[in-house]
């Protein structure tokens, strides 16, 4: 028996905000449609943006997508949605006397970037919140 990859086709949604020119950003569903994701939120890659109320195209899990970086990203890094929906390195943080918070891991980088606003190839594989322990 041969093993292989089954391609998952992109799917459609409705823009809940003006998403023209935001291809390569992460977006999240809301009651009014998809909007840019905030840092650490569960989200989908935007493949084709549109104006508010119009159809958009989103990437499905299992695909590799070109995403806009928030900052430098190492090859093989776990990826989350960063500020404004850009791809960022997923990290867990702990503040003295506060709960540990984790980022929702959305995938793994298959390339590297040195700076913000560069293109990083991301294998989109949502894995839930990054697990960590308090120090």
Reported pTM: 0.86
Residues 78 and 23 placed together within one structural domain of the fold: no
Residues 26 and 74 placed together within one structural domain of the fold: no
Residues 47 and 90 placed together within one structural domain of the fold: no
Of the pLDDT bands very low, low, confident and very high (cuts 50, 70, 90), residue 135 is very low
CA distances to 81, 116, 135 from 110, in Å: 16, 17, 30
Is 134 within the bounds of a domain? no
pLDDT at 134 over 60: no
Is 135 within the bounds of a domain? no
Is 107 within the bounds of a domain? yes
Token pair 């090859």 is at which residue? 75
Longest C-alpha distance within the chain, in Å?
54
**Boundaries of domain holding 50:** 11-58
Residues 54 and 68 placed together within one structural domain of the fold: no
Residues 16 and 72 placed together within one structural domain of the fold: no
Residues 70 and 50 placed together within one structural domain of the fold: no
Residues 77 and 107 placed together within one structural domain of the fold: yes
Instruction: Say what the pLDDT of residue 91 is.
Output: 76
Taking the alpha carbons of 40, 44, 48, 49 in that order, is the dihedral positive or negative?
negative
Tell me whether residue 49 is exposed, middle or buried, using C-beta atoms within 10 angstroms of its C-beta: 0 to 12, 13 to 18, 19 or more.
buried
Mean pLDDT of 67-86: 94
Q: How far apart are CA 51 and CA 9, in angstroms?
A: 22
The predicted-structure confidence for 22-75, as pLDDT tens digits, reads as follows 999 999 999 999 999 998 899 999 999 999 999 999 999 989 999 999 999 999
pLDDT at 1 over 60: no
CA-nearest of 65, 113, 64, 53 to 88 is 113
Is 6 within the bounds of a domain? no
Instruction: Say what the pLDDT of residue 90 is.
Output: 87
């Amino acid at each position: 028996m041969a093993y292989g990859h089954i391609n998952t086709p992109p799917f459609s949604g409705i823009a809940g905000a003006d998403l023209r020119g935001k291809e390569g950003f992460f977006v999240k569903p809301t009651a009014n449609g998809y909007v840019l994701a905030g840092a650490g939120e569960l989200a989908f890659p935007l493949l084709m943006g549109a104006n508010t109320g119009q159809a958009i195209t989103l990437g499905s899990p299992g695909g590799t997508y070109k995403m806009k970086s928030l900052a430098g990203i190492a090859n093989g890094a776990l990826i989350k949605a960063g500020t404004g929906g850009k791809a960022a390195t997923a990290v867990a943080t702990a503040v003295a006397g506060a709960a540990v918070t984790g980022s929702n891991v959305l995938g793994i980088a298959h390339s590297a970037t040195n700076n913000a606003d560069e293109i990083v190839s991301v294998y989109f594989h949502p894995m839930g919140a990054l697990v960590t322990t308090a120090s």
